[in-house]
Amino acid sequence: MTAFTDSLGFDKGTKAYTSTYTNRFTVIEIDLDFAAIAAARVAAGVAALAAADTLVLCQLPKGTFVLNGSATLVTAEGGTATIDVGISGGTTDFWIDGFDLNGTAGTVGGYADATAYLTTADTNVLLTINNNDVDTARVKIQLAVIDMGADQGTIPSSEV
């Protein structure tokens, strides 16, 4: 098992997200095209992702309240492949547990038993690869979050 923190082949983004006093709700979406990830890793001379490897997908800032997560399959792998998505240093399949990358395109899944989670420190969202040779699938990971920690500014009051 190797714990990767790079962003070869996908956009990890930043740990900030749009939030204002009138709109604290955001959906973070991470597009994982494993063909592009595999090609970028080969080009960089970095080891391919293998079974039990983890990859940091993004970092949630302190004060983020995650309602839940889901995965949407865009392209099937063509062979046995599953993934988990959870919390670094915690439950690694907190939001997505055993999502099948070889299913039907358009399939949506998550972990129905997951409870909401409040980050009390900056927290990494972690992908776990459960099989070797994941190099064809494309999946979109979504996290529904509420910004509970940022200074939202002053709510304007109406004058009477």
What is the distance between the alpha carbons of residues 160 and 158, in angstroms, rounded to a whole number? Answer: 6
pTM of the model: 0.87
| 156 located within any domain | no
Total number of domains constituting the chain: 1
What is the distance between the alpha carbons of residues 123 and 55, in angstroms, rounded to a whole number? Answer: 13
Domain that holds residue 86: 3-147
Look-up of token digits 């439950």 = 91
Beta carbons of 130 and 101 less than 8 angstroms apart: no
Task: Identify the pLDDT of residue 160.
Answer: 45
Residue 63 belongs to a domain with what CATH number? 2.60.120
Mean pLDDT of 4-30: 77
Phi then psi dihedrals of residue 145, to 5 deg: -130, 155
pLDDT in tens, 83-128: 999 998 878 888 999 999 999 999 999 876 667 899 999 999 999 9
Q: Which residues contact 77 (CB under 8 A, 6 or more apart)?
A: 34, 101, 102, 134, 136, 137
| 105 located within any domain | yes
Mean pLDDT of 134-156: 81
